[in-house]
Structure 1
């Protein structure tokens, strides 16, 4: 590579970094919503609404970090073809940023991914490479990324390292800033799901670095290898994989950091879906099933705290916009066809919501 070409490339990288940073500068921080619980419980529950990002999910943060790291690391240059293995939401966000900087992006996704997510990837200018066997998405993306002029983001290996866990407006920093004026500003628990493991790693590291007493719980769906991997300390654990899109993996991903997690909470799929729908009734927020998984785990911890007479706060996440699941988790026939009994799940969950669930707070 000649000197003039190198200078030209560096100028392009500088412009690309500015474009990605400008997107963040234009975007307001995501809302921290109050979830109504009986005041007598003495525990406050908050949901950080990541569905309000420009691409509608928590993965907008990860995609921004992946792009900034790739640009700063010299992996992304003018004309680089970008590729990712993704079940949908990360790919939607990566397609968005690829279009911003003028690069081609290909998402390697399972053929079973929700149609609405595939449409969103295309809408943001991304290309699709469908794989029949979900377990083959890694290898297929790696093969594409190995071609000259291509870059494979490999979110499942790099998510825990590309984000600045010490601050720089990461999600943990944002949560604590928004909690500053609340009755219990230092949460007793923060509850998140794990897909790559990047979010839990960022929050767990940040709490330790900032010397917070806050504990971290990871909500894990059926079929995920993460809970067993955390319990046994083994990274070779495998499982069938999750039916809750975006979280739970058939293997313990390289970015999953068990050592920063204080507790894993396993959540049945039918409870994840029932809680997702109950959230719509309570707050008027239509979210995906991974949010339902988070909510169930958070409410279980709230219940434990109130039974112990412990006052405090719990924070969890609204992961993505539920409109992309209208033909799956919000479709009664689709849910019933997968053997989920939402009525029974709702009966089990109702006491955790306040028995009966409270409506939205007065405006």
Structure 2
């Protein structure tokens, strides 16, 4: 495990080159036109109404031996209307784009996404009545593709995940639409100081628990927006909580963080859908977080299957990546004789990945052996000893 001193956070304009310039193609819209202003107010109202209708997501307990004096919680983001953590992000991005004048009536919204963000954005595009196009890897799970199309979106596939950005930008230019660019704007669109963001919600739900201020919050990174929101909120509220970001194979975030290298890159895409990136994304804020772990993909799958055994719930691979790291942190606390609480996330439901993380055929095709990692988890949960 490598833990290094953090680099300084990027400034407010960091990533403008990597993520492309802010959309400015609004000259064809007369912003003083009463019809446009009426459409804009109605669109913002509809997106805000979605939040008003939505209850908070549950904070579930992962069973651990009482004698350890440690509580492990899972923030269940799979209960959002579109079934994932990305529902929060999509809502924020749509409000950001609408209020900036970037999303216009009749023009498509286009996103580069490996799946869950695109599902949620397709939902919001349908809600306000604009077309939606998802630019995504051809290997995206069939269930995510079905959900995007169910919400009225269209899928545009690329063979090389590294080409998603330029394909999305080109489609926006060709159609006169808006490239949402979650990887640049995720950390900017979310109100990290509060306003019922995910961090504020976690602390409110822990208020009556025996350890209301968690020792650690574990959040995986795709855009990096969630980890940035949580870490910034922790610092803003002056909590002692530490934030850990686990990173899967075929992702450059861990290497960029440990080497303080903003140009770190990976040659191929992540097998754990929704997290891990081939480049250091503008919304990933390394200076805000305290620790990173590199998690083998087989360990992520073993952990997500252990989750089903423990609480009877299937979840996606990114949940497994976070759970593996959270349990490893719990193991360190046990070994040190420390008590406290740890929080991680259920990012999306496992039913979206039955042909991947719950398929032994897929594991064989990918050359993944989860047995040693499953044994590590079984031994730890039975004895409190972590080997591996």
Q: TM-score, normalised by structure 1?
A: 0.96
User: How many angstroms apart in 2 are the aligned matches of 1:328 and 1:116?
Assistant: 11
1:193 aligns with 2:193: no
Q: Which residue of 2 is the match for residue 181 of structure 1?
A: 208
- How far is the alpha carbon of 1:80 from its aligned partner? 2.3
Residues 121-160 of structure 1: pairs in structure 2 closer than 5 A: 121-147=148-174, 149-160=176-187
Match of 1:74 among 91, 98, 101: 101
1:116 aligns with 2:115: no
- How far is the alpha carbon of 1:3 from its aligned partner? 6.8
User: How many angstroms apart in 1 are the aligned matches of 2:211 and 2:110?
Assistant: 43
Range with greater deviation from structure 2 (148-157 or 205-214):
148-157
1:61 aligns with 2:88: yes
Secondary structure in 1 aligned to 2:372? helix
User: How many angstroms apart in 2 are the aligned matches of 1:42 and 1:5?
Assistant: 61
- How far is the alpha carbon of 1:77 from its aligned partner? 2.1
Q: Which residue of 2 is the match for residue 296 of structure 1?
A: 324
User: How many angstroms apart in 1 are the aligned matches of 2:216 and 2:32?
Assistant: 51
State whether residues 122 and 153 of structure 2, in contact with CA within 8 Å, keep that contact through their aligned partners in structure 1: yes
Match of 1:285 among 313, 316, 323: 313
Over residues 302-328 of structure 1, what are the superposed CA-to-partner deviations in whole Å (9 max), with x where a residue is unaligned? 111111111110000000011010111
Q: Which residue of 1 is the match for residue 238 of structure 2?
A: 211
User: How many angstroms apart in 1 are the aligned matches of 2:227 and 2:30?
Assistant: 42
Q: Which residue of 2 is the match for residue 322 of structure 1?
A: 350
Secondary structure in 1 aligned to 2:366? coil
Residues 92-103 of structure 1: pairs in structure 2 closer than 5 A: 92-103=119-130
Secondary structure in 1 aligned to 2:84? coil
Match of 1:252 among 260, 271, 280: 280
Q: Which runs of 4+ in 1 moved over 4 A?
A: 1-5
Secondary structure in 1 aligned to 2:87? helix
Secondary structure in 2 aligned to 1:333? helix
State whether residues 79 and 149 of structure 1, in contact with CA within 8 Å, keep that contact through their aligned partners in structure 2: no
Range with greater deviation from structure 2 (239-248 or 120-129):
239-248
State whether residues 217 and 241 of structure 2, in contact with CA within 8 Å, keep that contact through their aligned partners in structure 1: yes
Relative distance call for 1:355 and 1:121 in structure 2 (3 A) is farther
Q: Which residue of 1 is the match for residue 259 of structure 2?
A: 232
- How far is the alpha carbon of 1:11 from its aligned partner? 1.4
User: How many angstroms apart in 2 are the aligned matches of 1:295 and 1:190?
Assistant: 11
1:243 aligns with 2:271: yes
Aligned CA RMSD, in angstroms, stands at 1.5
User: How many angstroms apart in 2 are the aligned matches of 1:355 and 1:334?
Assistant: 31
Relative distance call for 1:38 and 1:81 in structure 2 (3 A) is same
Over residues 55-86 of structure 1, what are the superposed CA-to-partner deviations in whole Å (9 max), with x where a residue is unaligned? 11100000000000011111112222110000
- How far is the alpha carbon of 1:4 from its aligned partner? 8.8
- How far is the alpha carbon of 1:27 from its aligned partner? 1.1
The count of aligned residue pairs is 357
User: How many angstroms apart in 2 are the aligned matches of 1:171 and 1:353?
Assistant: 28
1:333 aligns with 2:343: no
1:171 aligns with 2:203: no
State whether residues 37 and 354 of structure 1, in contact with CA within 8 Å, keep that contact through their aligned partners in structure 2: no
Secondary structure in 1 aligned to 2:219? strand
State whether residues 161 and 269 of structure 2, in contact with CA within 8 Å, keep that contact through their aligned partners in structure 1: no
Match of 1:45 among 49, 59, 72: 72
User: How many angstroms apart in 2 are the aligned matches of 1:12 and 1:353?
Assistant: 55
Over residues 15-64 of structure 1, what are the superposed CA-to-partner deviations in whole Å (9 max), with x where a residue is unaligned? 11111111111111100001110011111100000011111110000000
Relative distance call for 1:38 and 1:23 in structure 2 (3 A) is same
Unaligned stretches of 5+ residues in structure 1: 357-363
State whether residues 299 and 353 of structure 1, in contact with CA within 8 Å, keep that contact through their aligned partners in structure 2: no
Q: TM-score, normalised by structure 2?
A: 0.89
Unaligned stretches of 5+ residues in structure 2: 1-27
Q: Which residue of 2 is the match for residue 360 of structure 1?
A: none
User: How many angstroms apart in 1 are the aligned matches of 2:310 and 2:82?
Assistant: 24
User: How many angstroms apart in 2 are the aligned matches of 1:58 and 1:166?
Assistant: 18
Q: Which residue of 2 is the match for residue 8 of structure 1?
A: 35
- How far is the alpha carbon of 1:95 from its aligned partner? 0.2
State whether residues 195 and 247 of structure 1, in contact with CA within 8 Å, keep that contact through their aligned partners in structure 2: yes
